A = this chain, B = another copy of it.
């Protein structure tokens, strides 16, 4: 039963399990105490910090353990902004950061700070010059992920870090997705990561703050973890996190090469096997284990359900999954199709057979969903009306696009179809459909309810 959602949470690595179990006996006492149980706990904690710091590429005294990757990000953003408040309150984030970064930015804006979102290319990558353009004298902090969690695109962190350093602005790198594959080779000031993303246990985040970076922890004082992570240290989990990070690193080069072939296979084969598919992300500068594509005329939730029934656990950035009502902010920022979106992130040890089985199952699953939704299978014969209006009000993704596709053949080349829709996903998916289909997206106009999306038939 293949699990292809390692980017959400990786199955526990055997080394993590072993280290966790072993540390339960010695790691439960308070490491701040001087008696033998406390000293033993302290030794475990110190050793884990050294191991993790080596993997991160920082000094042990620059690294603290938090209760989660999200907590590491919240603490990093708040602490760095507070440490630089005399310089200003301007925060820069890329538009495709993890929600923990964007929510931190929202909180900062809510408290009166200013935030600039750096746009990305259609590949999901920021342009370093886009970062450079928004650096200001009052910029307190800039944030850029090492690689994107939804499409796998690797960001130009080294160059952005250099630009930030020249401007005297600290750069926070969220390395949650890339750290298992290697250290972040850039002159960052702060770095965060999350243990359960590399097969360590949940409950452990990493927060590294380079010496010389101004940092003022927020919230009530607490003496643990250099005052940067309040609460009793979860030492068995920390030990397991560090040990498993070292273990995955030892296998990283070989496993990356192996998985890159498999994700490459998916990237190549899916568009051949399934009509009307868009593969997202950069084809070369990408994480080895992650691939994302979107299927026209498909709703993500039904497709997830079909794949789950067939034994495949995957995730989706579509708006039509139950956990969210808006399409993934990442796909939106990239301007790519979000409907019928599927993200595969292969855990270590994924076999070629599992991937091939997925490729066997996928076309039927997509076709089944499309059939249920009455999606067009071929272009309809040309009609006479030069302008058509499709009322898709009250209908959710992917119905508006399906309705559009059904009638586009009914207008002559040069004619237009106007889709009335109040579904947020349409704003992204109608232009994306036009791009895929070679039709012209004329634009969006306000309507009595929702918006009117105008498309001109070109092809």
Contact = CB atoms under 8 A, between A and B. Distances in A.
Interface string A1-43: 1010100111110000100110011001110111111100000
A373 interface: no
A196 B28 CA distance: 8
A199 to B, nearest CB: 9
Nearest to A197: B232
Copies in the complex: 2
A323 B39 CA distance: 13
Nearest to A199: B28
Contact of A8 (B9, B29, B231): B29
Pick from A3, A35, A235 the residue with the most CB of B within 10 Å.
Answer: A35
B34 A201 contact: no
B68 A231 contact: yes
Contacts of A194: 232
A67 interface: yes
Given A28-B12, A70-B222, A33 B313 contact: yes
A220 B38 contact: no
A236 interface: yes
A357 to B, nearest CB: 16
A111 to B, nearest CB: 11
A314 interface: yes
B230 A68 contact: yes
A1 to B, nearest CB: 7
Q: For the side of the interface on A, what is the size category?
A: 35 or more
Contact of A20 (B24, B103, B301): B24
B313 A37 contact: yes
Nearest to A202: B234
A69 interface: yes
A180 interface: no
Interface string A285-328: 00000000000000001001100100011110000011100000
Contacts of A77: 220
B35 A74 contact: no
Contact of A232 (B35, B202, B301, B308): B202
A213 B49 CA distance: 40
B232 A36 contact: no
Interface in A272-288: none
Interface in A209-248: 219-223, 230-237
Contact of A202 (B3, B10, B28, B107): B28
A182 interface: no
A431 interface: no
Given A5-B30, A35-B304, 9 more contacts: A3-B35, A5-B37, A8-B29, A34-B322, A38-B313, A67-B234, A70-B222, A106-B221, A201-B234
